[in-house]
């Protein structure tokens, strides 16, 4: 890919995208630029991935054709203040909750802006990113953004109204999956398994189950039923999960994340 990509903010998510992009081979490291107020983070990314780092955000804007805004929503207005973007730029914000309308009012109504919700498994090429574009973005720019995020996992476009829900589900979701892996592994340890074996079993079980859903296209309930032998072990475990309302808890977690995304937007209004 000929285009240069710059990151303003290179923390957990920006860093995961940089690592995933370099590993994907879609963009060569010398075409990736990063700026962050944390110099140590920049130096580590330069050392680990061979990307270029710059001393300030305006210098990054001058070097990169695509600029990814990857600071916390609370830091975004300050991070973009005074930056001079050109009409040729494609700006992609990953800040949770921050709307295209807010971005256009801070950056310029005439600029091509995309709002994206990625997730950290992008680091290993297994992310999923949902994007929404403002009317200035051309079909070619949409394709370019889909290609970039598609190189580190799956990528799709959805109407912007759905992006807070996406944030609550796939944006925050890896944390819920890690919590489940940790808890399942604790269960294994409680039953006498060594910790490292228990973590491996828990992680591969979630990975395998997720692949089954994606590759077979079967409803998760059908796949669940195939694990559940009459009078067997699984139904005994499922009964506990249902009694403890795990389904309701997961639904409420997604809803709480979506509501928090909406609140983050209002806090920056």
Name the minimum Å distance from CB 9 to ligand NDP.
3
Nearest CA-CA partner of 187 in 174, 196, 175, 198? 198
The Cα angle at residue 79 between residues 118 and 174, in degrees rounded to 5: 20
Token duo for residue 207:
């990975």
Candidate list 32, 36, 113, 131; residue touching ligand NDP; CB under 6 A: 36
78 binds ligand NDP (CB under 6 A): yes
Q: Which does 71 bind (CB under 5 to 8 A by kind): ligand A1CAB, ligand NDP, none?
A: ligand NDP
71 lines the binding site for ligand NDP (CB under 6 A): yes
Handedness of CA 124, 130, 134, 136 (dihedral sign): positive
> Binding to ligand NDP by residue 118, rule CB under 6 A?
yes
Q: Is the dihedral of CA 108, 9, 66, 174 positive or negative?
A: negative
Of 21, 10, 15, 19, the C-alpha closest to 145 is 21
Query: Which 226-245 positions form the footprint of ligand NDP (CB under 6 A)?
Result: none
Q: Which of 1, 11, 186, 201 binds ligand NDP (CB under 6 A)?
A: 11
Residue 128, interface with ligand A1CAB (CB under 6 A)?
no
Contact between 163 and ligand A1CAB by CB under 6 A: the answer reads no
- 20 touching ligand A1CAB, by CB under 6 A: no
CB of residue 48 to ligand NDP, shortest distance in Å: 15
> Of 51 and 94, which has the nearer Cβ to ligand A1CAB?
94
Q: ∠202-96-208 over CA atoms, to 5°?
A: 20
Nearer to ligand A1CAB, 12 or 236 (CB): 12
Q: Which residue from 64, 67, 96, 98 is in contact with ligand A1CAB, where contact means CB under 6 A?
A: 96
Assess contact for 17 and 70: CB atoms under 8 A. yes
Q: Which residues, other chains included, contact 222 with Cβ-Cβ below 8 Å and sequence gap of 6+?
A: none
Helix (H) or strand (E) holding 91: strand 90-93
The binding site comprises 8-13, 70-73
Q: Which residues bind ligand A1CAB (CB under 6 A)?
A: 96, 167, 171-172
């Amino acid at each position: 890919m000929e285009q240069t990509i710059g990151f303003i903010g290179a923390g957990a998510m920006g860093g995961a995208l940089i690592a995933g992009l370099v590993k994907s081979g879609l963009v060569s490291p010398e075409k990736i630029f990063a700026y962050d107020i944390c110099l140590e983070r920049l130096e580590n990314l330069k050392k680990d991935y061979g990307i270029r780092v710059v001393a300030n955000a305006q210098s990054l804007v001058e070097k990169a054709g695509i600029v990814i805004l990857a600071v916390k929503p609370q830091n975004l207005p300050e991070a973009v203040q005074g930056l001079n973007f050109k009409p040729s730029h494609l700006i992609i914000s990953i800040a949770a909750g921050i709307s295209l309308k807010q971005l256009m009012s801070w950056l310029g109504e005439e600029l091509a802006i995309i709002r994206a919700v990625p997730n950290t498994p992008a680091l290993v090429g297994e992310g999923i990113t949902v994007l929404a574009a403002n009317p200035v973005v051309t079909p070619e720019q949409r394709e370019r953004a889909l290609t970039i995020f598609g190189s580190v996992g799956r990528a799709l476009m959805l109407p912007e109204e759905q992006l807070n829900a996406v944030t609550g589900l796939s944006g925050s979701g890896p944390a819920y999956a890690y919590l489940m892996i940790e808890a399942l592994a604790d269960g294994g340890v409680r039953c006498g398994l060594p910790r490292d074996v228990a973590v491996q079993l828990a992680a591969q079980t979630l990975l395998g189950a997720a692949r089954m859903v994606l590759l077979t296209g079967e409803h998760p309930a059908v796949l669940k039923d195939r694990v559940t032998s009459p009078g067997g072990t699984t139904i005994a475990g499922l009964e506990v999960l249902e009694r403890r309302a795990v389904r309701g808890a997961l639904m409420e977690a997604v809803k709480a994340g979506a509501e928090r995304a909406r609140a983050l937007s209002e806090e920056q209004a």
